[in-house]
């Protein structure tokens, strides 16, 4: 359990945010009450999605990872760009994959982890990718051999679909050697 920081401007974009509206809360509220919103019953085009809508998108993202986590719940605070995750994970790997699955999303700066684990195991190291990194380079630094890059790739599947597709700012799980 803990708090994990992520680069909020980096990651997969799963929802749209109008940053001008995000920075000026009164404008967001005003946009939601425009005549178009009143007549259609829908928010104005540039309004920010609700915290519950974002939480549902993050929940769906974790469910797509096919992780073994029961009673999974996510709360999202758009003011602080913080996601809080809770539930009961079968393994430490499931817990960590859930954390990085929602943390590696644009507009998520912090993940508060309240997931319990059934099968206790050592925590992986969380590594933030830097410019010029590759899985081979990271593997050499951590394990002493570039050939061990597949350990890192496998530990981050299905979030990673290709060992060559990592980007600066992305957070990866690095299993203990």
User: Mean of the pLDDT values across residues 72-100?
Assistant: 97
The C-alpha atoms of residue 33 and residue 116 are separated, in whole angstroms, by: 41
User: Mean of the pLDDT values across residues 28-47?
Assistant: 44
User: Mean of the pLDDT values across residues 135-156?
Assistant: 97
110: pLDDT strictly greater than 80: yes
pLDDT score recorded for residue 173: 97
128: pLDDT strictly greater than 80: yes
Label residue 27 by pLDDT band (50, 70, 90).
very low
pLDDT score recorded for residue 29: 37
Task: Identify whether the C-beta of residue 52 lies closer than 8 Å to the C-beta of residue 59.
Answer: no
Label residue 17 by pLDDT band (50, 70, 90).
confident
Pairing of strands 125-128, 171-174: antiparallel
pLDDT score recorded for residue 30: 35
Which tops the pLDDT comparison, 120 or 106? 106
pLDDT score recorded for residue 48: 77
Label residue 23 by pLDDT band (50, 70, 90).
very low
pLDDT score recorded for residue 38: 44
User: Mean of the pLDDT values across residues 25-41?
Assistant: 40
User: Mean of the pLDDT values across residues 133-139?
Assistant: 98
The C-alpha atoms of residue 132 and residue 140 are separated, in whole angstroms, by: 14
Domains and CATH numbers, the chain: 1-122 (3.30.70), 125-174 (3.10.350.10)
pLDDT score recorded for residue 18: 61
**CA-to-CA separations, 124 to 108, 113, 140, 156, in angstroms, rounded:** 21, 15, 17, 11
């Amino acid at each position: 359990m803990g708090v994990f920081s992520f680069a909020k401007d980096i990651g997969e974009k799963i929802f749209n945010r109008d940053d001008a509206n995000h920075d000026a809360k009164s404008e967001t509220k005003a946009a939601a009450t425009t005549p178009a919103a009143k007549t259609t019953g829908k928010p104005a085009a540039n309004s920010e999605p609700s915290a519950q809508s974002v939480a549902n998108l993050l929940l769906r993202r974790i469910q797509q990872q096919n992780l073994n986590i029961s009673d999974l719940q996510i709360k999202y605070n758009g003011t602080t760009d913080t996601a809080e995750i809770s539930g009961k994970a079968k393994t430490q790997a499931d817990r960590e994959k859930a954390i990085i699955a929602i943390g590696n999303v644009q507009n998520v700066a912090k993940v508060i982890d309240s997931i319990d684990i059934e099968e206790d195991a050592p925590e992986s190291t969380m590594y933030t990718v830097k410019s010029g990194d590759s899985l081979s380079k990271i593997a050499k630094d951590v394990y002493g051999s570039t050939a061990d890059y597949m350990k890192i790739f496998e530990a981050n599947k299905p979030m990673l679909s290709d060992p060559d597709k990592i980007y600066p700012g992305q957070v990866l799980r690095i299993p203990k050697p």
